[in-house]
Amino acid sequence: MGFDDLEAAEQSRADRDDESGEQNADTTASEPADRATDADDAASDPAVDGAADSSGDETSDEPAFEYDDVKQAPLYARPEAWAALEDALDLDVVRTLREAGVRNEEKRELHDAVLRVAADHPDEIAEAVQEARRED
């Protein structure tokens, strides 16, 4: 369930490796640093930030970022919390994306968005932790 994108990413990586088989080791070794620099530049570019916030702009047909750009880290939650999140993503978020014309969302994009929204609402997270402790 948490690795839905893994097979597609591995195939994509294999396809790219086949296409660029003649590259030397120096070029390949420098790619992760270049990719990180590009991501940092995009994150600090106000034009990029403004484009992401514009709800009237057309969305891309491609995922927002490559699988190689992710960091996998465990999240520990109770089964009912996972079920609620999966239901919200599958039933509400994906439907909203479909209505906006986005048809090929990736799990990594959904999870990234969840974490960004959570980071923007730390007070609500603290309240939810306190509420859960009162219930137990």
Answer yes or no: do 117 and 78 share one domain: yes
> Which residues constitute the domain of residue 106?
70-136
**pLDDT tens digit string along 41-88?**
444 443 434 444 445 566 677 777 676 777 888 889 999 999 999 999
Q: Given 8, 31, 56, which residue is the final one in a domain?
A: 56
Answer yes or no: do 103 and 131 share one domain: yes
Answer yes or no: do 78 and 49 share one domain: no
Answer yes or no: do 74 and 136 share one domain: yes
Q: How far is CA 67 from CA 8, 74, 84, 91, 97, in A?
A: 9, 17, 25, 24, 20
User: What is the domain count for the chain?
Assistant: 2
The answer on pLDDT for 130 being more than 90 is yes
